[in-house]
Amino acid sequence: MDGERTAATAGVVACLLTAGAVAAPYVLLPASALQYVARYYGAGPVNPLALGLLGLLGAIIFASGRERRSDPDLVAGIMLSVGLFSVVVAGLWALGFDPVAVGATDAIDFMRTHRWSVLAGTGLELVAALWYAAARDLVPVPGLGSATGR
């Protein structure tokens, strides 16, 4: 049970980190560069703004599994799917993005590194979902299985 709670808590944190990373340009970029944020998020083949919403939703889902308000096995399956989808969307966006195409010369350095933090956040979501599923004995991950022997 403790492994499940820890994995679910890690999932909540990872999802909130992803949502925060998606919102970061609106907070961290200077006002003169905010006009480029929409172009920045629309520059790749996939718009990653949905990842922020999925991050917030994922935090709620992980928390409901941790507190046993939802079926933990269902939560594990949903979050594995959401985590995998998020990694694919973030990966397509990060790899298909050209910061120069946005035209924000004062924000290009930020944009070059920021996309990788969004991808890392979604990767953490997927790892947390795998950890949670392994703690529930739903996926065989050596060293992360449930101590209950369910």
Amino acid 1: pLDDT: 60
Name, in order, each residue with C-beta under 8 angstroms of 101's C-beta and a sequence gap of 6 or more: 43
Amino acid 149: pLDDT: 45
Give the pLDDT confidence of 130-149 residue by residue, as tens digits: 999 999 989 886 765 544 54
Amino acid 37: pLDDT: 83
Q: What is the pTM of this model?
A: 0.88
Residues of the chain with pLDDT under 50: 146-147, 149-150
- What does DSSP assign to residue 149? -
How many Å separate Cα 70 from the centre of its chain? 21
Amino acid 144: pLDDT: 56
Paired tokens of 73:
């096995």
For 19, half-sphere exposure in the C-beta direction (CA atoms, 13 angstrom radius) is: 14
Q: So where are the chain's domains?
A: 2-135
